Chain A
């Protein structure tokens, strides 16, 4: 737990915003909601900092995840990129939980992460902590395969004006403005960002994502602070179904996301802290669809994809350091999610789900060489009317000051989405009493559960780190899709509708390693490797599970600072062939990106000019065959006032 000095460096204690303590060894905040040393964390974590984000040349956050061992990133359509860990996913990667400063912004009803339309600009992201493996003991549902915690800086860090413009091939045209200041005790920062491009060549899939965000904090004289966050994001998309056989029309539509949160941190008098958080987010996918009068003679069919979701969430956490050996946190929370979509649920009613949870975690240092973490969550969902007990335990042994061995057992869970449990996707005729069904969910799904066992080795010297682990994950009640006969209703596909059901266990095994190294001469190297195998031999559905993750994945980023403000970086990633869940197989690919940056001053104004190239080894296909990203070159200019 952080010390409070008269100088006001009060470290945060909960796993939320980037409150890392300046006087600490490398810490991670996400795995247990306690700030912990990386080599004593109960979960394996990849940390991507601002320098790596910049060096990668990424324009979209999701692309940064290509560096993380075991992750796959793909674009089925330009408006809906996806990132998955250890396969088993489609474009709705609902087995990964996304947090913004510790608060969930995952869209529950369909299980979507709107990577393009996050209510925070990439320029405000200082650090991303990725828990590789289940972490339901701390976060409950959807922390099934991985947890990604995006951390912004504090409002006070963004004092002044910042701006950035980007332009290049593929219609790339981005802009960013930020202003931060101080008003009385309130530190604030407003950001406005707009990012757009033309997507895949020759497909009607241009996009423009615009977001306005606010960060604020009010420190209290007696300690603690009030943190405020708000964001509004709007995506203007073009869409054209990649399958030309489908009766869809190219069209344009907007998607909007709102996010607001209020967090009160109150340090107690006994090495303890209370954190109370209230948050709300809302999502509106406003695709009004199209009409079609050619499928059925004399019938005009209305395809409508509009869907609205809201979530209200409240939680209370208590953190305490009982001694130098023993720290603990406990919390309870509640969130309520509601969705409204006549097209996906065949009702004008709003459907909802309420989740309550109670969680605790303790870290105990037996002696300087041995550390034990134990945590668990008890969660109840109104949708499945089930109680889940989700434990985690890890034991860490420091071989010396730099090397640590660990063994960890963790569980993950995923409640079925409302669509999987209650979905009834329909198309209605506008000139006749006709409803055609595409999806009819039978319901009564059980939550997916994952159980993971890993053995790991961690080496750490200053900011240089190496981590390797062998793991085995077993997924029970995997929720898969299948077509079932539906003789009683008109159907989109002849005689069948899509349904969801729990499948038999799937086992994922593998080896992962990552290396983050830098020297005193401005060199930074980040390398990752993953070997993944999926055993789905006993499953009910023949869904090609075993191919949903590449057997080999490699990421490499090298960055070098030169004199006179020059900097260059190269990033490379390789992925062997794979097949996204229930889609066409794609071949292996090699991707090379490069970035050259020059810092200089215009008068006293700092300026950074960059040239960035992506896919330099040729087009790559990352989701569908014959749908590839071309070589791209773009320029970026950043100015701070």
Chain B
């Protein structure tokens, strides 16, 4: 027992000292789309991909892709291999004896949890999306890194960007999400009055926000795709930009690109390090708590900021608030 404890301790120290150190000997990655995070792992110089594959799911009209990765770089490098087409993910999990599976995105997560009885790390999903998956009882450890940053950080960002703001409207999904309690605490600390607008879906969000806008100094979008999504974001942004009410939040920087003033979002460049630590724990049979991204950054839409008259000083204040050394 003491040897195992010592081993874990040594492993943790190694992870801290060497961010690129190896977390598990064989990893299985699965994704719906080639995100930068997926590409970073597939080209990790400290690992060797041994098999690339695709997996079609005609029933869902989705094609997943993935690869197996060993924890040591081959030298000379393993020649590029043709991508195989799999019939069954379960066969692959069983045959290749992966230690930990990493699923990027919703479809990949559902597929893995159904097909593979292996320790699993889920990445690229919001806390709201992950909740039902994590609630399903399963013998093997499952952990996750939420796609969004802690919504409370968006309030800190709002204070930095909008020093005169008093009332912040918050679209609150029902049932009440777990992030709301810490958000209230942070709101009190930052002297905000939170106008909690309970909404059931995207249509409700548009319906409920419109009459409230005149009384708001800012709006905080929840990291919930049932509330803020492809359908609702356009009317939400149009009605707020018309009335000059800044909107913050959303689960990724793409919301900011689309017209949200600013958000605190996961710093995906730093994500592999946090993943390695969790992978190491999963490989050891532990189940680390799902968590928000450890490294965050500020995304600001400068044209929206200019439109709303947000000062350069406030933008600088926001940058420095979340800048990492």
Residues of A near any B CB (own CB < 8 A): 3, 5-10, 18, 20-26, 49-51, 54, 126-127, 153-154, 156-160, 162, 180-182, 461-464, 518, 520-521, 561, 563, 565, 567, 599, 604, 606, 608, 638, 640
How distant is the Cα of A459 from the Cα of B309 in the complex, in angstroms? Answer: 13
| Cβ B258 vs Cβ A7 within 8 A | yes
* A20-B241, A22-B237 given; A157·B304 CB < 8 A: no
Bound Cα distance from A159 to B304, whole angstroms: 25
**Given A20-B241, A606-B212, residue A7 in contact with residue B203 (CB < 8 A):** no
- Does the CB pair A9–B164 fall under 8 Å? no
Given the interface pairs A22-B237, A126-B242, the reply to whether A599 lies near B214 with Cβ below 8 Å is: yes
A158 to B239, CA, bound (A): 10
Q: List 19 A-B contacts (CB under 8 A).
A: A8-B234, A20-B238, A20-B241, A21-B259, A22-B237, A51-B244, A154-B238, A156-B231, A157-B206, A157-B235, A157-B239, A160-B206, A160-B207, A180-B207, A462-B308, A462-B309, A520-B162, A520-B163, A608-B211
Bound complex: CA of A49 vs CA of B304, how far in Å? 17
Query: Which chain B positions have C-beta within 8 A of A565?
Result: 215
Bound-state Cα–Cα, A89 to B232, Å: 45
Contacts of B303 in A (CB 8 A): 23-25
- Interface residue B146 (Cβ < 8 Å from any Cβ of A): no
Apart from A22-B237, A182-B231, what are 8 other A-B pairs with CB-CB below 8 Å?
A22-B241, A24-B303, A54-B214, A157-B210, A160-B207, A162-B210, A520-B309, A521-B164
A162 and B213 CA atoms in complex are apart in Å by 14
B107 contacts chain A at the CB level, 8 A cutoff: no
- Given A22-B259, A22-B304: A159 and B203 within 8 A (CB)? yes
Q: Are B238 and A18 in contact (CB under 8 A)?
A: yes
> In whole angstroms, what is the CA distance A127 to B231 when docked?
22
Q: Nearest-CB distance from A446 to chain B (Å)?
A: 42
Q: Which residues from B are CB-within-8-Å of A521? A: 164
Q: Residues of B contacting A18 with CB < 8 Å?
A: 238, 242
Interface string of B234-269 (1 = CB under 8 A from A): 110111011110000000001101110000000000
A616–B164 CA distance with the chains assembled, in angstroms: 34
Q: Which of A6, A51, A156, A180 has the most CB of B within 10 A?
A: A156
Task: Give the top 6 A-B pairs by smallest Cβ distance, nearest first.
Answer: A462-B309, A22-B259, A160-B207, A640-B211, A520-B164, A606-B211
Question: Residue B54 at the A interface, CB < 8 A?
Answer: no
- CB neighbours (8 Å) of B257 from chain A are 3, 5, 23
Interface positions of B (Cβ within 8 A of A): 162-166, 198, 203-204, 206-208, 210-212, 214-215, 230-235, 237-239, 241-244, 254-255, 257-259, 301, 303-304, 306-310
Kindly provide the distance from the CB of A218 to the nearest chain B CB, expressed in whole angstroms: 12
Contact (Cβ within 8 A) A23 B212:
no
Nearest CB on A from B286, distance (A): 36
Whether A156 and B206, one on each chain, are in contact in the complex, defined by CB atoms closer than 8 angstroms, is: yes
Instruction: Report the Cα distance A464→B242, complex, angstroms.
Output: 14
Q: Are B309 and A464 in contact (CB under 8 A)?
A: yes
What residue of chain B has the Cβ atom nearest to residue A49's Cβ? B242
Q: Which residues of A contact B234 (CB under 8 A)?
A: 7-10, 154, 156
Cβ-closest chain B residue relative to A50: B242
In contact, A8 and B231 (Cβ under 8 angstroms):
yes
How far does the Cβ of B312 sit from chain A's closest Cβ, in whole Å?
A: 11
- List the B side residues contacting A5 at CB < 8 Å: 254, 257-258
Q: Which residue of A lies closest to B247 (CB)?
A: A22
Measured between beta carbons, the chain B residues less than 8 angstroms from A24 are: 303, 307
Contacts of B243 in A (CB 8 A): 49-51
CA distance A69 to B255 in the complex (A): 38
Q: Do A567 and B214 touch (CB < 8 A)?
A: yes
- Residues of chain A contacted by B239 (CB below 8 angstroms): 153, 157
Cβ B306 vs Cβ A159 within 8 A = no
Residue pair A462, B198 in contact (C-beta under 8 Å): no
The answer to whether B258 touches A159, judged by C-beta atoms less than 8 angstroms apart, is no
Chain B residue with the shortest CB-CB distance to A127: B242
- A54's closest neighbor in chain B, by CB? B214
Cα–Cα distance between A408 and B29 once the two chains are bound (Å): 61
Residues from chain A with Cβ under 8 Å of B166 in the complex: 563
Closest to B232 in A: A156
Known contacts A5-B258, A25-B306: does B235 contact A160 (CB below 8 Å)? no
- Docked-complex contact B304 and A181, CB < 8 angstroms: no
Q: Closest CB of chain A to B61's CB: distance in Å?
A: 13
Residues of B near A54 (CB, < 8 A) are 214
CA distance A162 to B210 in the complex (A): 10
Nearest-CB distance from A112 to chain B (Å)? 30
- Chain B residues with Cβ below 8 Å from A604 are 198
For residue B105, give the distance in angstroms from its CB to the closest CB of chain A.
13
A126 cross-chain contacts in B, Cβ below 8 A: 242
The answer to whether A181 touches B203 (Cβ under 8 A) is yes
| Residues of chain A with a CB closer than 8 A to B165's CB | 520
Asked if A8 contacts B233 (CB within 8 A), the reply is yes
With most chain A CB atoms within 10 A of its CB, the pick from B206, B234, B239, B310 is B234
Report the bound CA distance from A138 to B197 in whole Å: 44
A210 and B309 CA atoms in complex are apart in Å by: 40
User: Complex formed: what's the CA distance from A521 to B164 in Å?
Assistant: 7
Please give me the residue from chain B that is nearest to A22 by CB atom.
Answer: B259
Are the C-beta atoms of B254 and A7 separated by less than 8 Å?
A: yes
Q: A182 touching B235 by the CB < 8 A rule?
A: no
Q: Return chain B residues, CB-CB under 8 Å to A7.
A: 230, 233-234, 254-255, 258
B235 A156 Cβ-Cβ under 8 A? yes
Q: How far is the CA of A561 from the CA of B264 in the complex (A)?
A: 29
Once A22-B258, A23-B258 are accepted as A-B contacts, the answer to whether A461 and B203 lie under 8 Å apart by CB is no
- Residues of the A chain whose Cβ atoms lie less than 8 Å from the Cβ of B230: 6-8
Q: What residue in chain B is nearest A7 (Cβ atoms)?
A: B258
Nearest CB to that of B167 among chain A residues? Answer: A563
Whole-angstrom CA separation of A126 from B231 in the bound complex: 20
Taking the closest CB of chain B, its distance from the CB of A312, in whole angstroms, is 31
Across-interface contacts of A49 in B (CB, < 8 A): 242-243
User: Would you give the shortest CB distance from A526 to chain B, in whole angstroms?
Assistant: 13
CA distance A23 to B234 in the complex (A): 11
Q: Which of B164, B232, B238 contacts A22 (CB 8 A)?
A: B238
Q: Quick check: A159 and B259 within 8 Å, CB to CB? A: no
CB–CB B259/A182 < 8 A: no
In the complex, which residues of chain A have a beta carbon less than 8 angstroms from the beta carbon of B235? 153-154, 156-157, 159
Nearest CB on B from A18, distance (A): 7
How far apart are A136's CB and chain B's nearest CB, in angstroms?
Answer: 29
Give CA–CA (A162, B209) in the complex, Å: 12
Q: Is the CB of B211 within 8 A of A463?
A: no
Rounded to whole angstroms, the CA-CA distance of A154 and B210 in the bound complex is 13
The answer for the CA separation of A120 and B162 in the assembled complex, in Å, is 36
Cross-chain contact A463 with B309 (CB below 8 angstroms) = yes
When the two chains form their complex, are residues B210 and A640 in contact, meaning their CB atoms are under 8 A apart? yes
Q: Does the CB pair A159–B241 fall under 8 Å?
A: no
User: Complex: how many Å from CA A518 to CA B238?
Assistant: 19
Residues of A within 8 A of B233 (CB): 7-9
Complex Cα spacing A154 to B241, Å: 14
How far apart are A181's CB and chain B's nearest CB, in angstroms?
A: 7
Q: Which residues of A contact B232 (CB under 8 A)?
A: 156
In the assembled complex, which residues on chain A have CB atoms less than 8 Å from the CB atom of B164?
A: 520-521
Asked whether, in the complex, the Cβ of B241 is within 8 Å of the Cβ of A599, the reply is: no
Contacts of B304 in A (CB 8 A): 22-23
> Which B residues are CB-close (under 8 A) to A640?
207, 210-211
Residue of chain A at shortest CB distance from B228? A7
| Distance A162 CA – B306 CA, assembled complex (angstroms) | 32
* Residue in A closest to B205 when the chains form the complex, CB atoms: A159
Q: How far is the CB of B35 from chain A (nearest CB, A)?
A: 13
